[in-house]
Amino acid sequence: MNVSLTTQILAANEAAVTLAARSLAEGGLVAFPTETVYGLGADATNPQAIARLYQAKGRPAFNPLIAHVSDLGAAERIANLNAQAIALAEAFWPGPLTLVLPKTSDCAVAGLATAGLDTIAIRVPAHAIAREILRAFGGPVVAPSANLSGHVSPTTAAHVQSDLAGRIDLIVDGGPVAVGVESTIVGCFGEVVLLRPGGLPRGEIERVLGRELAQPPGDADSGSGQPLAPGMLASHYAPRTKVRLNACNVEPGEALLAFGPVAVSGVDAATSVLNLSARGDLNEAAANLFGYLRVLDTKGAHTIAVMPVPHHGLGEAINDRLRRAAVARE
């Protein structure tokens, strides 16, 4: 891999948006903020650009990408939306919801981006800069999270820089993101199924559907059969340091990732302590999650002990990412 590219970093403004759109049109790789995490964008119709993207991230090409589009009309040009998909799109786009849908027969998105599947993952991001880049570019942009494959997703431009400098063309710095965990992924090819918990809580989706979301047939983590969200490997979102979940004490040499009032013993022995949300707010905790994991990963602790996080609202996505971070080092 050529890692000698000069990666330009620009503050998010009109000139940066214009340059981002031009770079995408020329087959460039552009990192930009979305409301969930920073994405690494490439022209969804350009197989060479997509091949570069997989290479820059060190991502296996059998793990398909999300196509980002500017509105429902643009989604309908590349995918077939049934009544439930349209209801969800109308309720939650723009926003942190990805729909996996059957591709249209003349879908312009390169087969490499969808790993040869006959479905495609699509979302309309809510972040103003992401929307302006999509509008200026004028076509679908595939964008995985802008981190090295298997690493924690980036919630600031500095995170992107530390993973991908020298490997991509441009980083548009729009400051820290608002949500902090990736989009919720729902499959709408038959019964509506939850493929990945994320920035849109399950309960809000179920309210619009008028019933509970189905679980995918077979466990996407089990490695048995074809996972429905192929990227949902058990070990993902991993810091280098070992992660210990549901900690009710801190062992010497451990760092503590706290949530709410710190009611654990041994805190004084912790190498460092960060609290996802001292007031127990799950939205604040989601926004802090990946950044705090990155910080604690640099503190020389042998383990990051994590206090329990309640499972409702964004807690489902937070616990999903924490579980993957822990599995990676078991």
Residues that bind ligand TXA (CB under 6 A): 34, 36-37, 39, 63-66, 98, 100, 114, 117, 119-121, 143-145, 182-183, 185, 195, 228-232
The DSSP secondary structure of 159-186, one letter per residue, reads HHHHHHTTTSSEEEE--S-SS-SPPEEE
Least distance in Å: CB of 154 to ligand TXA? Answer: 9
- Which amino acid, 227? P
Least distance in Å: CB of 38 to ligand TXA? Answer: 7
Footprint on residues 101-160 left by Mg ion (CB under 5 A): 145
* Residue 248, Cβ density class (10 Å: 0-12 exposed, 13-18 middle, ≥19 buried): exposed
Closest to ligand TXA by CB, 134 vs 273, is 134
CA distances from 241 to 122, 226, 236, 317, 319 (A): 33, 30, 13, 21, 17
Least distance in Å: CB of 28 to ligand TXA? Answer: 17
d(CA 261, CA 297): 22
What one-character DSSP code corresponds to residue 101?
E
Which of helix, strand or coil describes residue 148?
A: coil
d(CA 184, CA 287): 15
Nearest residue to Mg ion, by Cβ distance, number only: 145
Least distance in Å: CB of 164 to Mg ion? Answer: 12
Footprint on residues 20-79 left by Mg ion (CB under 5 A): none
Closest to ligand TXA by CB, 100 vs 326, is 100
Closest to ligand TXA by CB, 230 vs 310, is 230
Closest to ligand TXA by CB, 195 vs 293, is 195
Closest to Mg ion by CB, 129 vs 229, is 229
Residues interacting with Mg ion, by CB under 5 A? 145
